[in-house]
Amino acid sequence: MINRRSLLAAPFFLPASHAFGAASENNVPPWPTALLMGTGRPGGAYALYGPAWGALAQEQSGVSIAYMASGGAAADILLIEQGAAQLGMTTVTVADQARSGSAGWTAGVKFNAFRALFPMFPSVLQIVVTPESGLMSLRQLANRRIGVGPDGGSGSAALQAILASVGIAPGSFATGDYMRQIREMLNGNLDACAFIGAPPLPAIQSAAMQHRLTMIGFTREETVQVAAVTPGWTAMTLPAGIFANQTTAICSVGTANFAICAVSLPDRLAAVLTIAAMRNQRKLAAIVPAVAGSPAGMLVARGKMTFHPGAAQALHALGMDIPAKFIES
């Protein structure tokens, strides 16, 4: 479905310098003068959250931060692994795939150059169809053509395994920018859009305000099955009214999003980047409302996500305990 080259085929928002300061004494890693952050595509939460966090981090650290509109969760890990970026965002599920080399996009390679900084917000699988499609249940997605969002995003990396865990095999998956795929669904070229992101996903929210959409959910039994088979996933609910014309709560599955960085970042800088976000949760929630919910930090225990030592120290100082087995230099 996706390949490593396509994950990285994305434009820059701003030019970025990779110049680093001279090495300091006592073998302390040099403090960088600039960092590049991989974000997601327009219409998703990463594209909003990344620059908002980056502005706070730049103010606190004095380090210039630029942004690349990557595909999202998987692409950001690849950018860090290849040394093209130092910051990004991902989910527990995609991080687990990267560390274990268990998904197609990894080509069997185990990635270990990234570390978690802090929990950001939960992502939920949001499946929408048009009323004209006649689709009303998860089972009816079998043999259908489904849009899963950008190459390198959580949907393209994880949706096939999620649906397979409950015995559903769509006919095909299509990747592309969120808004473009919504338009393709409205035009009848896609049967459904299944995006993984912070609810309400901006692209779905925009479409729901102009067109009548139907949301497809999971049964309780199906959420239990997904959680049992797929690391990092758990049952979550999309409350009534989160989208226009959505009158009932929808049962779905979700995972936790984490800010990530290159393992080579100095401990002190990782701490500053973490504190910049954790002490400004209200400001970030104004940009991405899901921030106000639980970050679902304990979901990290079911995936192979490890924290940067500097970030772990900062989180501990803020009252969040990170077990030693989840901290790795």
pLDDT reported for residue 121: 92
Instruction: Please give the pLDDT value at position 216.
Output: 96
Ramachandran bin of 119, using left for φ above 0, alpha for ψ from -120 to 50, beta for the remaining angles: beta
Under a CB-based contact definition with an 8 Å cutoff, are residues 165 and 229 in contact?
Answer: yes
**Could you tell me the residue ranges of all domains in the chain?**
4-120+258-326, 124-254
Domains 4-120+258-326 and 124-254 share a fold: yes
Name beta bridge partners: 127.
194, 216
Give the integer Cα–Cα distance in Å for 173 and 146: 5
32/298 Cα distance (integer angstroms): 31
Cβ contacts of 298 within 8 Å, gap of 6 or more: none
Output the pLDDT for position 176.
95
pLDDT 10s digits, 289-313:
999 875 545 455 566 789 999 999 9
Tell me which residues of the chain have a pLDDT lower than 70. Answer: 1-29, 294-303
The per-residue pLDDT for 303 is 66
H or E element in which residue 209 lies: helix 202-210
Q: What is the pLDDT of residue 18?
A: 32
According to CATH, what is the number of the domain 4-120+258-326? Answer: 3.40.190.10
Predicted local distance difference test score (pLDDT) of residue 1: 38
Which residues have CB under 8 Å from 98's CB, separation 6+?
Answer: 74, 77, 81, 90, 106, 110, 111, 114, 304
Quick one: pLDDT at residue 144? 98
44 closest CA partner among 201, 257, 243, 209:
201
Q: What is the pTM of this model?
A: 0.85
Residue in 285, 265, 275, 281 with CA at minimum distance from that of residue 37? 265
Superfamily of domain 124-254: Periplasmic binding protein-like II (3.40.190.10)
Predicted local distance difference test score (pLDDT) of residue 286: 95
